[in-house]
Amino acid sequence: MQKIELMAPAGNFESLQAALDNGADSIYFGVEQLNMRARASINFTLDDLSEIVKRCNSKNVRTYLTLNTIIYDHDLSIVKTLINKAKEANITAVIAMDQAVIAMAREVGMEVHISTQINITNIETVKFYALFADTMVLSRELSLRQVKKITEQIEKEQIKGPSGKLIEIEIFGHGALCMAVSGKCYMSLHSHNSSANRGACKQNCRKKYTVIDQETGFEMELDNEYIMSPKDLCTIDFLDEIVNAGIKVLKIEGRGRAPEYVAKVIKCYREAIDSIQDGIYNKEEVISWMETLETVYNRGFWSGYYLGQKLGEWSKGSGSHATQKKVYIGKGNHFFPKANIGEFKIEAYNINVGDAILITGPTTGAKELLVEEMMVNDKKLNEGKKGDLVTIKLPFRIRQSDKLYKIVENKVEA
């Protein structure tokens, strides 16, 4: 069984580092406004490209630039600039939806990946895009049986991309699924003038709705008012079937998620992929991965359309069902490299021996550990309070830009 590539989201340097530390094979990210997270307050800029490539190259991780919004005439010049800068910085590939982006990237010899928004659902479309791209994301609506037929046909007909290698098929493995057709949606455009297809989705499908017959005023009785908000996709419990379907790349959703989300999800899927490769993938481990995945943001899990089940498993709330949450405690103050001790200034709440803590930062990524002992204002104590300087022995370095959180149980409504 061939090992598949694990592709991680990177919305900022914290998440990028978390992906690298937890075993991603590739990362995808957006810069400036032409990506599906244009609204995000933190987006990478063109100046970040060299740092992204430097960090990824040091771990042999591939880098993909998302340029997959709809493109207007006034965007063409910035698209060209982005592609040229990406090429200059040695970014591995561009993820594209618009034909202009595909053409421009090919013109400068950049590898192209076809984004899910193109909505490939059959082998003839794969053949068409093979003229331009080496990797293609299939439509989210396909079942694994359909995916497998396509990958088998690629092999049988030896369908190759511009690089001369067989076309690689990528599918979504974990994260948000929405009611849009493979990422294309007009809902928030109609309600808020805010086009999802320009990366400005308002996520109003995630809210409660009622259905009323305007003629009679009859209100349909609904079991669940979140009638447009699917649960999140999770495939870790049938990942062996996914690998068996002949895909080459497994994409994890979540460029808008916190770095600890990226850290945990990538870690679980890394272990799962490796265990399939080693022939030790088993139910016990699946249960343990599922428990870990449930600790970070999720709307409840379902298997998407892959297993050909009845469509639509709807979330029962607008927010996360995560079993854990983080509470801000303080920030990094100093690191003593010889003793491997980190000093933190406590700015809110308190910290106790026995607490599970999370430290995040652009270079640190997202790291969790248990506080076994600590010094508070140079004395060995069990509790640090607001205003205190607390030192903790750490297996990694911290920086002044780092944030310290306490991990606590999140009471989830059934």
Partner 1 sequence: MVVITLQRNKCIGCNYCVEMAPKQFQMSKKDGKSVLLNSTNKKGFFTLKSNQYNILEASENASKACPVKIISVKLV
Least Å distance, CB 199 to partner 1, is 7
Q: Which is nearer to partner 1, 38 or 159 (CB)?
A: 38
Distance CA 360, CA 394 (A): 13
Which position among 77, 158, 216, 282 is part of the footprint of partner 1 (CB under 8 A)? 77
Least Å distance, CB 162 to partner 1, is 27
For partner 1 (CB under 8 A), the number of binding residues is: 21
Distance CA 322, CA 219 (A): 32
Nearest to 123 by CA among 132, 112, 136: 136
Least Å distance, CB 195 to partner 1, is 6
Nearest to 288 by CA among 271, 266, 313: 271
Least Å distance, CB 256 to partner 1, is 15
Q: Which is nearer to partner 1, 177 or 178 (CB)?
A: 178
User: Which distant-in-sequence residues (6+ apart) come within 8 Å of 193 by Cβ?
Assistant: none
User: Which distant-in-sequence residues (6+ apart) come within 8 Å of 91 by Cβ?
Assistant: 49, 52, 53, 63, 64, 65, 110
- In this structure, what are the phi and psi dihedrals at residue 304, rounded to the nearest 5 degrees? 65, -145
Binding mask 94-133 for partner 1 (x = CB under 8 A): ----------------------------------------
Binding mask 32-51 for partner 1 (x = CB under 8 A): xxx---xx------------
Least Å distance, CB 13 to partner 1, is 19
Q: Which is nearer to partner 1, 32 or 141 (CB)?
A: 32
Least Å distance, CB 180 to partner 1, is 17
Contact segment (CB under 8 A) with partner 1 among 7-15, 67-75, 229-237, 285-293 equals 67-75
Q: Which is nearer to partner 1, 81 or 309 (CB)?
A: 81
Residues in 157-216 that interact with partner 1 by CB under 8 A: 192-195, 198-200, 202
Q: Which is nearer to partner 1, 203 or 292 (CB)?
A: 203
Least Å distance, CB 66 to partner 1, is 14
Least Å distance, CB 192 to partner 1, is 6
Q: Which is nearer to partner 1, 59 or 192 (CB)?
A: 192
Distance CA 195, CA 184 (A): 10
The pair of three-digit structure tokens given for residue 119, joined into one six-digit string: 């909505």
Residues in 276-315 that interact with partner 1 by CB under 8 A: none
Q: Are 40 and 258 in contact (CB under 8 A)?
A: no
Q: What is the DSSP letter of 255?
A: T
Measured CA to CA in angstroms, residue 63 lies from 26, 81, 145, 257 at distances of 6, 18, 29, 19
Counting Cα atoms < 13 Å in the Cβ hemisphere of 14 gives: 21
The pair of three-digit structure tokens given for residue 150, joined into one six-digit string: 């396509």
What DSSP string describes 125-194? HHHHHTTT-SEEEBPTT--HHHHHHHHHHHHHHT-B-TTSSBPEEEEEEEE---SSBTTB--HHHHHHS-
Q: Which is nearer to partner 1, 33 or 122 (CB)?
A: 33
What DSSP string describes 88-128? HTT--EEEE-SHHHHHHHHHTT-EEEE-GGG-B-SHHHHHH
Which position among 2, 47, 60, 74 is part of the footprint of partner 1 (CB under 8 A)? 74
- The verdict on 72 binding partner 1 (CB under 8 A) reads yes
Least Å distance, CB 261 to partner 1, is 24
Q: Which is nearer to partner 1, 189 or 375 (CB)?
A: 189
Tell me which H or E stretch contains 252.
strand 249-252
Q: Which is nearer to partner 1, 77 or 216 (CB)?
A: 77
Least Å distance, CB 72 to partner 1, is 6
Distance CA 344, CA 140 (A): 44
Contact segment (CB under 8 A) with partner 1 among 28-36, 218-226, 230-238, 240-248 equals 28-36
Distance CA 406, CA 330 (A): 9
Which position among 51, 76, 184, 368 is part of the footprint of partner 1 (CB under 8 A)? 76
Least Å distance, CB 202 to partner 1, is 8
The pair of three-digit structure tokens given for residue 169, joined into one six-digit string: 């098929």
Q: Which is nearer to partner 1, 29 or 302 (CB)?
A: 29
Tell me, letter by letter, the H, E, C secondary structure of 345-380.
Answer: EECCCCEECCCEEEEEECCCEEEEEECCCEEECCEE
Residues near partner 1 (CB under 8 A) are 32-34, 38-39, 72, 74-79, 81, 192-195, 198-200, 202
